Amino acid sequence: MGIDEGFDMVPRLGLGAEDTHNWALFIELVKGLYADDDLVEVKDHFIDFKVGEHPTLPLHGPQFLRFSSKISGRIACETGVERYIRTVRRLAAGIFGSRIHFWTELAEQFGFYDWRDVHDTQKNFWEGNSGLAATRFANDDDDYPSKILNDRLYEILEIPGRGRGVVARCNIKRGTRVLCETPLLVVANMNPEVLNGVVASKLRSLSKEQQVQFLSLHNNFPGRHAFAGIVRTNALPCGSGAQTGGVYPEICLINHSCRPNCHNSWNETADVGRETIHTIRDILAGEELTISYDKGGPSEIRQAGLKAAFGFDCTCDLCSLPAPELQASDARLRLIQSLDEQIGDPMTMMNRPLSSLHACRRLLDALREEFPDPYVDRVAISIALIPRLYYDAFQVVVAHGDQARGRVFAERAYSARVECEGEDSPATQQVKRLMQEPASHKSCGAYGTKWRSSKTAQPNKETVGEEAFEKWLWRL
**Binding site residues, Zn ion, CB under 5 A:** 258, 314, 316, 319
**DSSP labels, 46-109:** EEEE-STT--EEESSGGG--EEEEE-SSHHHHHHTHHHHHHHHHHHHHHHHGGGEEEEEGGGT-
Please classify residue 223 by burial: count the beta carbons closer than 10 Å to its beta carbon, then call 0-12 exposed, 13-18 middle and 19+ buried: exposed
* Residue placing its CB nearer to Zn ion in the complex, 316 or 359: 316
Q: How far apart are CA 143 and CA 20, in angstroms?
A: 34
* Residue placing its CB nearer to Zn ion in the complex, 271 or 313: 313
* Residue placing its CB nearer to Zn ion in the complex, 199 or 314: 314
> Least distance in Å: CB of 168 to Zn ion?
20
> Least distance in Å: CB of 303 to Zn ion?
7
* Residue placing its CB nearer to Zn ion in the complex, 61 or 296: 296
> Least distance in Å: CB of 32 to Zn ion?
34
> Least distance in Å: CB of 319 to Zn ion?
3
**What's the CA dihedral at 313, 316, 318, 319 to 10 degrees?**
20
Residues 6+ apart with CB under 8 A from 179: 154, 166, 250, 251, 254, 275, 276, 277
CB-CB contact of 394 with 410 (8 Å): yes
> Least distance in Å: CB of 314 to Zn ion?
3
Instruction: Find the radius of gyration of the CA atoms of the chain.
Output: 26
Q: How far apart are CA 230 and CA 449, in angstroms?
A: 53
CB-CB contact of 152 with 112 (8 Å): no
* Residue placing its CB nearer to Zn ion in the complex, 314 or 396: 314
Q: How far apart are CA 390 and CA 144, in angstroms?
A: 35
Instruction: Name the amino acid, one letter, at 334.
Output: R
* Residue placing its CB nearer to Zn ion in the complex, 170 or 319: 319
CA end-to-end distance (rounded Å), the chain: 64
> Least distance in Å: CB of 307 to Zn ion?
11
> Least distance in Å: CB of 326 to Zn ion?
10
* Residue placing its CB nearer to Zn ion in the complex, 157 or 318: 318
Angle at 24 between CA 92 and CA 312, to 5 degrees: 80
